[in-house]
Structure 1
Amino acid sequence: MSMTYVIAGFAVGLLVGMTGVGGGSLMTPLLTLLFGVSPSVAVGTDLAFASITKGVGTITHRFNRTVQWPIVRHLCLGALPAALLTTLALSQFGTVNPQVGQVIRYSIAVSVMLTVVALLFRARMLRWINAHPGRQLQGRKLAAATIISGAVLGVLVTVSSIGAGAIGATLLVMLYPRLTSAEVAGTDIAYAVPLTAIAALGHWWLGSINWMLLATLLIGSVPGITLGAMMARKVPERFLRALLAMTLTGVAAKLVL
């Protein structure tokens, strides 16, 4: 079983390194459905897994110069305070109503599918933006929109514990359509590190992290995400965009079903 965990960690790490997406949306179902881990422990362990794995991926993407740090800073300015405030609110008022949680899941699924459409028609989007430069947010408006988007991310990820990579990729593609797929992956991974780390600390405090399971997963994921991040800049842009679109489609299907 331990070797199965290592292989699962490597596969998820490889995919996250190449696309920035797929950590929580793949690892949590794997732990609960295939390995029989309880949902609370699966979520807590996966958040710790994501923060460490994406931290390693960020280092590799940094060397490859595929992280847009100004965007990361603006996202974190919104996401981190929102995550902390949402955690405090949940500790006071309890978990989110199941009906509200379902609406959140469907909303995330719709936003993810919008990302898929944007990825598939990226060339047309860029042509339209070049023809209508006034429609694209610039300067302070773009920075403000990024910070607000980060705040929305912080709330949604803290409440639902899903979709950090997928939602981040959605926002990056929509707000910054000129980013390459490798830059989307690197920037998405970098901003998610502090966000998932804050959530993981909360689960550590609640005692819902399986440290032995986490260590086994990391044995596979650390080389996996390192290799994936190295490949992100070398594989053809069209292939990487198609891989990202397929991954996001799978995430959206899982959220709905």
Structure 2
Amino acid sequence: MEPGYALAGAFVGFLVGLTGVGGGSLMAPILIIFGINPATAIGTDLWFAAITKSVGGGIHHRLGSPDWKIVLRLAAGSIPAALLTLFWLARYQGGSLKPELLMHLLGVALLVSAGMMLVKPRLHGPLLRLRNALGPAMRSRQVAATVIGGAVVGSLVTLTSVGAGAIVAVMLAILYPLRLRTRSIVGTDIVHAVPLALVAALGHSWLGNVDVTLLGNLLLGSLPGIVIGSLVAGHVNEVLVRTALATMLAISAIKMIFG
């Protein structure tokens, strides 16, 4: 057992259960800072996300928070996109991107996630006004926009392990300002991330980008962490948590891009 990895797993697992984000956004950079090869960090992190979010998703399902219709819409785009991205990596990239390119891509994905997390609290009022102005027109475009957004996230998650949390959460807040409350967004986000992360993780195992021993250490801490986070979701100051998390993501992004 490596206590440092178990503690990192507990910290990230708690944030995943609490906010629906933090898995790929924090775990992959943490592993890279610990000296893990970027491709291995991403592949191992995808298994970490698939397993921990399965636990959190089960808790949110019992609480009745996921919107299953939206989960299916997201998956209709994300799963095929993940499979195509894995095929591209295997056929044209030798199983993984070059470390320098991967670090820069991961940094950009982290910056996007951090920015979206900071913008999300300011979106509710304008989005409600837009929703009322568009009326039925917005509803007719929601399905297509959700599937397309899911496809973009599916490719991004497969390449970097980042995006299934923060980006999807903001996208759902934009597309469904009336339908989804905070807890429903978190639950829907986590439940959708499970099959996406599982498909991407299986693909990275096939490509040889997973460290099973490292994964076991991360899970020792993450499973109790995500249970606690899921149970207290909706009962903490979301703005403070997201601001702190966005700051950590931005710092990690700068280290990935310039470090």
* 1:1-257 equivalences in 2 (<5 Å): 2-33=2-33, 35-94=34-93, 102=104, 106=108, 109-110=111-112, 112-119=114-121, 121-125=122-126, 127-129=128-130, 132-134=133-135, 137-138=138-139, 140-178=140-178, 179-233=180-234, 235-236=235-236, 239-257=237-255
d(CA) in 2 for partners of 1:148, 1:108: 20
Report Cα offsets for 1:128-166 as digits up to 9, x if no partner: 24652439721x421111011111111222233323212
d(CA) in 1 for partners of 2:104, 2:216: 32
Contact 1:64 1:230 in 2 (8 A): no
CA shift, 1:110, in A, is 3.9
d(CA) in 2 for partners of 1:252, 1:170: 17
Contact 2:14 2:222 in 1 (8 A): yes
Contact 2:124 2:173 in 1 (8 A): no
Contact 2:55 2:226 in 1 (8 A): yes
d(CA) in 2 for partners of 1:108, 1:211: 25
d(CA) in 1 for partners of 2:232, 2:214: 27
Q: Please say which of residues 100-109 and 202-211 is displaced more in the overlay.
A: 100-109
Count the aligned residue pairs.
Answer: 251
d(CA) in 2 for partners of 1:116, 1:252: 11
Contact 1:18 1:182 in 2 (8 A): no
Secondary structure of 1:163's counterpart equals coil
- Divergent runs of 4+, >4 A: 95-105
d(CA) in 2 for partners of 1:116, 1:143: 25
Q: TM-score, normalised by structure 1?
A: 0.86
Change in CA separation of 1:69 and 1:207 when aligned onto 2, cut-off 3 Å: same
d(CA) in 1 for partners of 2:48, 2:54: 10
Q: Where in structure 2 are there 5+ consecutive unaligned residues?
A: none
Secondary structure of 1:132's counterpart equals helix
Aligned-residue RMSD, C-alpha: 2.6
d(CA) in 1 for partners of 2:137, 2:81: 26
Q: TM-score, normalised by structure 2?
A: 0.85
d(CA) in 1 for partners of 2:158, 2:175: 22
Contact 2:78 2:147 in 1 (8 A): yes
Contact 2:39 2:97 in 1 (8 A): no
Q: Where in structure 1 are there 5+ consecutive unaligned residues?
A: none
d(CA) in 1 for partners of 2:79, 2:151: 7
Q: Please say which of residues 214-223 and 179-188 is displaced more in the overlay.
A: 179-188
Q: Please say which of residues 185-194 and 97-106 is displaced more in the overlay.
A: 97-106
d(CA) in 2 for partners of 1:67, 1:204: 29
**One-letter amino acid of the counterpart of residue 88, structure 2:** A
d(CA) in 1 for partners of 2:217, 2:253: 27
Secondary structure of 1:154's counterpart equals helix
| Percentage of matched positions with identical amino acids | 42
d(CA) in 2 for partners of 1:173, 1:212: 37
CA shift, 1:185, in A, is 1.5
Q: Please say which of residues 141-150 and 107-116 is displaced more in the overlay.
A: 107-116
**One-letter amino acid of the counterpart of residue 27, structure 1:** M
d(CA) in 2 for partners of 1:141, 1:155: 22
Q: Please say which of residues 8-17 and 174-183 is displaced more in the overlay.
A: 174-183
